[in-house]
Amino acid sequence: MDISRRGFLKLSGLSVVAVATGLGLNPEVVEAKGYALKIEGSKKIPSICHFCSGGCGMLLYVKDGKLIHLEGDPDHPTNAGTLCPKAASLRSVAYSSARVTKPKRRAPGAKDWEEISWDEALDRVAKKAKEVRDASWKASESIVNAKTGQSEVFEVNRAEGIAFLGSAEVDNEESYLISKFCRVLGIPYNEHQARI
Ligand code: SF4
């Protein structure tokens, strides 16, 4: 009988299952034991997925400070144990060698990015924000009064050169703080990525 490599592997798999079942092994029990072994010695930490504002519940299994397994939280009202592919890939994201973990800067005209400290990054952002705010500040604006048809000058006090873009990971409390932050700086353009 001619048999391909794939066919051979399929047949051997079937034979193993057949033998196992014949010996009284219950595949469901084997699967449950495999799962128990996988998470053995780990700490289960309930958490929330950070990838989008869906806020699905997750169970993270951490051993020796490392995430070894994750799954949807069956008791969470949003996702009832399910997870979308983005969340299911979270472990790879956390440990990816391509993950950027430190601030980087590409100097004007430079080809490469250089690593900088958080202090330097925050100082640079604050300095730039002040610079742009001062340069684009609008204290008043002439607006036509709809009733009288006459132009009137109104105090507006806004930094027209800065916009704030929120993220899908932002929750209600963070959104509140972001809008407060924008009001303090006089930033009128406060958007959310989901609307773009
Ligand atoms: S990314 Fe997926 S799992 Fe995470 S909160 Fe959004 S829908 Fe839920």
User: pLDDT of 69-119, one tens digit each?
Assistant: 999 999 999 999 999 999 989 888 889 998 899 999 999 999 999 999 999
pLDDT of res. 44: 96
Residues 46 and 92 in one domain: yes
Task: Please tell me the distance between residue 52's alpha carbon and the centre of ligand 1 in angstroms.
Answer: 5
pLDDT of the residue at 66: 93
Residues 34 and 47 in one domain: no
Q: Is residue 59 part of a domain?
A: yes
* CATH number of the domain bearing residue 83: 3.30.200.210
CA-nearest of 91, 95, 94, 99 to 69 is: 91
Question: Can you give the pLDDT at residue 195?
Answer: 64
pLDDT tens profile 141-196: 999 988 899 999 999 999 999 999 887 777 788 889 999 999 999 999 988 766 65
Q: Is the CB of 55 under 6 A from ligand 1?
A: yes
Distances (CA, A) of 105 to 97, 112, 115, 166: 19, 9, 6, 22
Q: Which 8-state DSSP code applies to residue 167?
A: -
Asked, for residue 26, whether it belongs to a domain, the answer is yes
- Is residue 38's pLDDT more than 90? no
Task: Show which of 52, 78, 96 is a domain's final residue.
Answer: 96
Structural domains counted in the chain? 2
Q: Specify whether 53 is located in the same domain as 29.
A: no
Residue 93 CB–ligand 1 contact under 6 Å: no
Q: Whose CA is nearest to atom 2 of ligand 1?
A: 84
- Report the nearest-CA residue for atom 6 of ligand 1: 52
Residue where a domain stops, chosen among 63, 96, 129:
96
Q: Tell whether 137 is covered by a domain.
A: no
Measured from the Cα of 48, ligand 1's closest atom is 5
Cβ neighbours, 10 Å, residue 87: 21
- Same structural domain, 5 and 27: yes
Q: Which residue has the higher pLDDT, 34 or 120?
A: 120
Asked whether residue 68 falls in the same domain as residue 81, the answer is: yes
pLDDT band (50, 70, 90) for residue 23? low
* 155 in a structural domain: no
Q: Considering the domain boundaries, does residue 86 fall inside one?
A: yes
Please give the model's pTM, rounded to 2 decimal places.
Answer: 0.61
Asked if the structure places residue 74 within a domain, the reply is yes
From 63, 79, 96, the end of a domain falls on 96
Cβ–ligand 1 contact at 90 (below 6 Å): no
In a domain, 123, yes or no: no
Residue 60 CA to ligand 1 center (angstroms) comes to 15
User: Domain range spanning residue 22?
Assistant: 1-40
